[in-house]
Amino acid sequence: MPPGNPAHVFGATAGRAATADIDANLLRIEDEYRVHEYAQRSANPDEILIAQPTRTARITVLAQHAINHFDAYGREKLADRGTGALVELVAPRADILGIISTGRLRGPEHQRQRHSAMVARAIADGRPSIDLHGMSCDGVSAVDIGTGREPSAASRLIADAAIECGDRLGLPVTRNRRFGARGPERLTNVLLDHGVPAIQAELCSCLRQPHSGPAETALVVAWFDSLTSTISRALAG
């Protein structure tokens, strides 16, 4: 992070679970995106990578901006770096079904088809879903949760869990502070419209490559771990 820009400094809690092997694993996956300049993952990627949990999935996490993409005006946008690799990393660890956009996008229409296919998979699966994005750091929110236009009772529980798990780990998680996911085309709203409890989560650049290190990786992995368990418990009760 260049000096003068905001950056989060996480407390000792972050370092507690830090292990070099988790971070090395993340960097190995991240390299698959990095060496292809985030235009695609690996040399011959599938359009969509399904990252499988070891056991039955408890939640679904989507990463539609893991690669370079297009904004609402059809302009090219750079990938939300690190989001694809993070989902790949946490899926087997935390029993998450990961749905990641990994094949090169030819244009806005191709992107619409891709996103529809990702949403269709999440709807078919029907599990509580998180639409993962990346945001720049403003020194306040490490994660900003967007609850969408019409949150459901179940999706409110997911947002509450995200904040509560952040509090336990010393990770500042806010709600609708910077990105409320209000646009009708946001995946969160499409999922909510189909009865799937969903939130959007914007991860600060401090928690993603190239600004993160082993402590930050451990922190975000711990947050997903704790979130998955808390959501399962909350929705079961």
Q: Rank residues 8 and 81 by Cβ distance to Zn ion and give the closer one.
A: 8
Smallest gap from residue 200 Cβ to Zn ion (A): 17
- Which residues 192-211 are close enough to bind Zn ion by CB under 5 A? 204, 206
Smallest gap from residue 144 Cβ to Zn ion (A): 11
Q: Show the tokens assigned to 193.
A: 């419209």
In degrees to the nearest 10, what's the CA dihedral of 193, 159, 119, 98?
Answer: -160
Q: Rank residues 161 and 206 by Cβ distance to Zn ion and give the closer one.
A: 206
Smallest gap from residue 10 Cβ to Zn ion (A): 9
- Which residues 7-36 are close enough to bind Zn ion by CB under 5 A? 8
CA distance 15 to 194: 40
- Which residues 125-164 are close enough to bind Zn ion by CB under 5 A? 137
Q: What is the CA radius of gyration of the chain?
A: 16
Q: Rank residues 9 and 12 by Cβ distance to Zn ion and give the closer one.
A: 9
User: Who's near 210: CB < 8 A, 6+ residues apart?
Assistant: 81
Q: Count other C-beta atoms under 10 Å from residue 54's C-beta.
A: 10
Does residue 48 bind Zn ion (CB under 5 A)? no
Binding-site size, Zn ion (CB under 5 A): 4
What is the amino acid identity at position 229?
A: S
